[in-house]
Amino acid sequence: MQSISVYDSLTGQKVPFKPIKEGFLSMYVCGPTVYSYVHLGNLRTFLSFDIVYRYFLHLGYKVRYVRNITDVGHLEDDADFGEDKISKKARIESLEPMEIAQKYTNDFHDMLKKINNLPPSIEPTATGHILEQIEIIEDLIQKGFAYQTNGSVYFDVKKYNQTEDYGILSGRNIEELLNHSRDLEGQSEKRNPQDFALWKKASPSHIMRWNSPFGVGFPGWHLECTVMSTKYLGETFDIHGGGMDLKFPHHECEIAQGKAAYGKKPVNYWLHANMLTLNGKKMSKSTGNTILPMELFSGDNAFFEKPISPEVLRFFMLQAHYRSVLDLSNDAILAAEKGFEKLKAAYFWLLESSQAEKQSSIDIHSWKQKCYQAMNDDFNTPILISHLFEGVKYIDGLKSNKQTLSQEDLILFQETFKEPSNRENFASGLAYLKSQPRAICSPPPKQFP
Ligand SMILES: [Zn+2]
């Protein structure tokens, strides 16, 4: 078994990964709020965790990968005010909220498939887990960590912080938060401004509403992830992933909810993927510095001189480590395309090659080991890709007869480069070249593992 190190955002350290149960991985990644077309930056986040998923599968782990769909409860402002993003879009597009959720879920799936991501094992929705959310709210009220006010229920951060550490993940200090809180609409019903909504009372015009013991309303955004991760992965699971921007308040709140409800830390390793910038600047709708994946693929945009294929985008994104900021620009992606074509050409030549000699002039075993070392080191895809290019040099040497490989080494070299027949390829977008991805779903046992 390979030994993997991961960078845990909670401790701020690279630590050896030890699964709760040997050979099994339980992983939860926060999915999209489906109120608009998927953002390129989000694609990068989900690609990062696709690599984590594929690598564990490649190593022979049995993986349960849960990634949710947020289809209710995500308000425009993190401080629990403003309109529900889905309800608002439904109003603007004159559609049912569930039509909005379906429309953008479809887009999300289409784009992930285009960049060759595997589907998760379970993709639960927030609206499909309202009953479970009500149950945990009742439990939190009973344990004294939540209170009802004016038809809404809030998590009592100050109470929680008396025995636990709110801010443990994001490094925020609660006293500082208390001093810097803004006075916002709808905040007055909270005991403290840091308290966050578990259940929000629905105004008469609010379309997405459910009956509950607390009144007619809808769940708060943070709760669904606690509920769905616990339901499918257990009260403590191995890896929780998401974009860097979700650290606070979303993931901080998840930790607090889980600890308050179950008395244990919900997650052993927190992994956060960094953002994608466009031409050196943050992508933002308001400044116009933004592009949709489909505009990149079709060429219908003002930023790139030609259409970019999804496989090149995937390769481009893997050239940066998932924890680094990656900048997308015309020159950078054209350079990636060149590199990818070179890699592909070498790969195809190698697969066809039967050019074996008595002795090897290249040490394929240590090359293979270096590839695994890169992936074992917090999924370092840029280093892995540099080893693949070292492999391209070997291939050039074989082509020009300057290098030789024994029959055994040639097969090892081919097999390391190509998809192992019974597992998923992890190396890059190369799986594209052979076949479409297979779904990995198997009927889940009641409890994992
Ligand atoms: Zn989440």
In this prediction, residue 435 carries a pLDDT of 33
Host H or E run for residue 15: strand 13-16
8 CA from centroid of ligand 1 (Å): 17
352 CA from centroid of ligand 1 (Å): 46
Give this prediction's pTM.
Answer: 0.91
- CA 430 to centroid of chain Cα atoms: 21
293 CA from centroid of ligand 1 (Å): 23
Pair 407, 355: CB distance under 8 Å: no
448 CA from centroid of ligand 1 (Å): 20
Name the token pair of 233. Answer: 């992965």
Question: The CATH number of 277-430 is which of 1.10.730, 1.20.120, 1.10.3910, 1.25.40?
Answer: 1.10.730
Rg (CA), the chain: 24
In this prediction, residue 83 carries a pLDDT of 81
61 CA from centroid of ligand 1 (Å): 24
209 CA from centroid of ligand 1 (Å): 20
The set of residues, in sequence order, having a beta carbon less than 8 Å from that of 113 and lying 6+ positions away, is none
Of 64, 5, 118, which is closest to residue 419 (Cα–Cα)?
118
1 CA from centroid of ligand 1 (Å): 31
Which segment of 129-143, 184-198, 287-301, 394-408 scores lowest on mean pLDDT?
184-198
Confidence of residue 407 (pLDDT cuts 50, 70, 90): very high
The predicted-structure confidence for 332-351, as pLDDT tens digits, reads as follows 999 999 999 999 999 999 99
Q: Say whether pLDDT at 1 is over 90.
A: no
Pair 304, 337: CB distance under 8 Å: no
| Amino acid (1-letter code) at residue 136 | I
Other Cβ atoms closer than 10 A to 313:
26
Q: Say whether pLDDT at 166 is over 70.
A: yes
30 CA from centroid of ligand 1 (Å): 4
161 CA from centroid of ligand 1 (Å): 21
Q: Which fold is adopted by the domain 5-273? A: Rossmann fold (3.40.50)
The predicted-structure confidence for 20-58, as pLDDT tens digits, reads as follows 999 999 999 999 999 999 999 999 999 999 999 999 999
The predicted-structure confidence for 95-148, as pLDDT tens digits, reads as follows 988 999 999 999 999 999 999 999 999 999 999 999 999 999 999 999 999 999
424 CA from centroid of ligand 1 (Å): 26
Q: Which residues pair with 29 in a beta bridge?
A: 67, 241
411 CA from centroid of ligand 1 (Å): 44
381-399 and 330-352 helices, crossing angle to 10°: 50
32 CA from centroid of ligand 1 (Å): 9
Pair 5, 378: CB distance under 8 Å: yes
225 CA from centroid of ligand 1 (Å): 5
In this prediction, residue 76 carries a pLDDT of 78
Residue ranges of the chain that CATH labels 1.10.730: 277-430
CA distance 341 to 325: 24
CA distance 107 to 244: 23
420 CA from centroid of ligand 1 (Å): 33
31 CA from centroid of ligand 1 (Å): 7
Query: CA-based diameter of the chain, in Å?
Result: 82
241 CA from centroid of ligand 1 (Å): 9
Residue ranges of the chain that CATH labels 3.40.50.620: 5-273
The set of residues, in sequence order, having a beta carbon less than 8 Å from that of 361 and lying 6+ positions away, is 397, 403, 404, 405
250 CA from centroid of ligand 1 (Å): 6
CA distance 158 to 151: 21
Name the token pair of 147. Answer: 């209170």
